[in-house]
Chains A and B, each alone.
Chain A
Amino acid sequence: MSSTPHEITPIKLSEDGLGARRSPLRDTTIRILHSRSAVVGLVMIVIMLIVAVGADFIATHDPIKPMFGVAGEVAPLPRKGPCVPWSGCTEPMHLMGLDQNARDVFSRVIYGSRLSLFVGVTVVAFSLSIGVMIGLIAGYAGGWIEDVLMRAMDVLLAFPSLLLSIAIVTIVGPGLQNALLAIGIVSIPVYARLTRASVISVKEMEYVTAGRALGAGAFRLMFINILPNVLTPLIVQATLGVGTAVIEAAALSFLGLGAQPPDPEWGQMLSEARSLVFSAPHLVFFPGIAITFTVLGFNLLGDGLRDALDPRMRGTH
């Protein structure tokens, strides 16, 4: 944690008597690795990545095909609870039990990680690129352009995000892709506001003025001189944004507007199992744990990055 007293690193003197140089990148990496929550979050995300990439090897069964007529399976199949060998269950192993259509829940949860990570990354990539453009233009141009763009962002922010994404999905039609689009649009204002606020504080800096004096065009000033210097808060927000996107996509799927059956999407699995919670709680329990684990990973990493990258926050978290 950053609140521990700063370590005093002895300055190693090199042959020519100058201090050993440390690159800013290395400095940052060290600071990130010193943040407990960043490391824990990173580990959780890496686990999810391994699960997603290696789903074909980790999953014990087909995520979509029901278990009817499979050798060794004993009736009644649907909604059967978890069966693990080391708890004395002699039937074929189902770590998380079978669902209402006699599919292996463990395999579905494993494959679900692919969809959820895909959702998180796509949504953030979409809203980040558009939001940064809007924020850069608004902050750089100022005047009426800024007013129009930022008021539009205020209007988008005036609607609770879930309601707005439900409305957008209704207009474009349900489905995972449209849900992604809706969540993406709804998250644009956050990035736009953040970018604009940083751009305003950076654009009067001397190196920007110097760039302008050297004859750099607006495009070059915005993307080469300003953008790299406003990235820090955006990186933090984008990391947290992945978690938010995963949860919102799950919520839309839960309401029947996102991923459709038989996709093994976690929110969709919860939606299908909703009415069965009192008779087969394992169908609800495991997908929810998977969502919480993934989102927690990104939230922890985001918090840790903020502690490590944002000097103002240091010492308070």
Chain B
Amino acid sequence: MSRFLVRRLLSAIPVLFGILIVTFVLARSIKGDPCTAILGERATKADCEAFTARNGLNESIPTQFIYYMGNMARGDLGQSFRSNRTVVDILVERLPVTIELAMTALVIAIIVGIPLGVLAAYRHNSFIDVFTMTGANVGISMPVFWLGLMLSYVFAVTLKDTPFALPPTGRLTAGLNPLPYYEVWGWVVDGQAPNPLWVFFGRFYVLNGLITGNMQLFGDALKHLILPAVTVGTIPLAIIARMTRSSLLESLNQDYIRTARSKGLAERHVLFTHGMRNALLPVVTIIGLNFGFLVAGAVLTETVFGLTGIGRTLFEAITSRDYAVVQGVTLVTAVAFVAINLLVDLFYGVLDPRIRLG
């Protein structure tokens, strides 16, 4: 197992290096002079020279790349041009919004998608099967942003004044104060800046409301989360349902299932213990691969639902050429992508001995 682990970890290194190069090149390909972008049009020549020297921009490109790698290694992702805050600060504030959204979406996709897939496979070619798979096909073909707009119309306008009405924008109802846990529990004295890690976790409103026992915050945050999470989760849900179905169908055709049936096992036992266990492998991979959909979905969904998460931040940073933010956010996303694929591979290795020994 450890040899497999080391081999897999080593193979991620060239990819990570490539990601660093691509983000570096991307940032330097964005047109315009960084000096005028930061100091403004009226910056004097002397100001600009001082600025370029301070930021190492007068060095050769390879030297700049080495500096850049050094900064990355120290966890320094630079400073936003527009808001004058560090990129790490921005990530601490906004990453939780996206993680909360993506995790909720993934949970919805898994707890709805897998049972649907099992049902469709078990009742193969029945009405349920055809209906579920048609639904899954339509789900995959819908543009995420359109689904978001239609859902917000249905739940905020059509179902207004019914118990099913849901808020179409924002994370919380205006005026509700999301008092973070570290303040509730008195970890921070007035006027003292809290630990960034505490702030990071405090930005998960649903979690925060739950652990501090603030049910109003918990309920409100959850209500705001439902529509965006369903929107982001639809494509992964459809993909998971289809994958579960086809993979379970394949495993139900195997000889060991016939053996299990012929030795008189209960059908439920055959389906869940013998069938599902072997069918889950590809489903795990697919869940991991859905990360890309989650991120892309987050960019579009955050735009539709007015959430200030990482997706929207990145989109705004790209369009306003705030390249330190672009660089930082892209890097974090891509590294997360690689890490998730790595985890999926390792998990796969744990589940299937043939892979780790092969």
Contacts and interface: CB of A to CB of B under 8 A. Distances in A.
A167 interface: yes
Contacts of A270: 143, 145-146, 149
B18 A154 contact: yes
Nearest to B21: A155
Interface string B139-153: 011111111011011
B300 interface: yes
Contacts of A160: 291-293, 295-296, 333, 337
A110 interface: no
A162 B295 contact: yes
Given A158-B334, A270-B146, A284-B146, A296 B18 contact: no
Interface in B104-147: 124-125, 137-138, 140-147
Contacts of B157: 278, 281
Contacts of B333: 159-160, 163
A3 B124 contact: yes
A292 interface: yes
A251 B19 contact: no
A68 to B, nearest CB: 27
Contact of B315 (A37, A255, A288, A299): A255
A247 interface: yes
Nearest to A293: B141
A182 B28 CA distance: 18
A163 B295 contact: yes
Contacts of A288: 142-143, 146-147, 149-150
B60 interface: no
A151 B321 CA distance: 28
Interface string A163-185: 10011001100000000000000
B330 A167 contact: yes
Given A151-B18, A160-B296, A166-B315, A315 B253 contact: yes
A291 interface: yes
Given A1-B125, A281-B153, A162 B296 contact: yes
B300 A292 contact: no
A285 interface: yes
A214 to B, nearest CB: 36
A99 to B, nearest CB: 15
Contacts of B141: 243, 247, 291-292, 295-296, 299
A166 B143 contact: no
B143 A151 contact: no
Nearest to A267: B143
B30 A170 contact: yes
The 8 closest A-B pairs by CB, nearest first: A155-B18, A288-B146, A162-B296, A296-B141, A295-B141, A160-B295, A160-B292, A171-B29
Given A163-B296, A251-B143, A270-B145, 8 more contacts: A155-B21, A254-B143, A277-B153, A284-B149, A287-B146, A292-B141, A292-B143, A317-B246
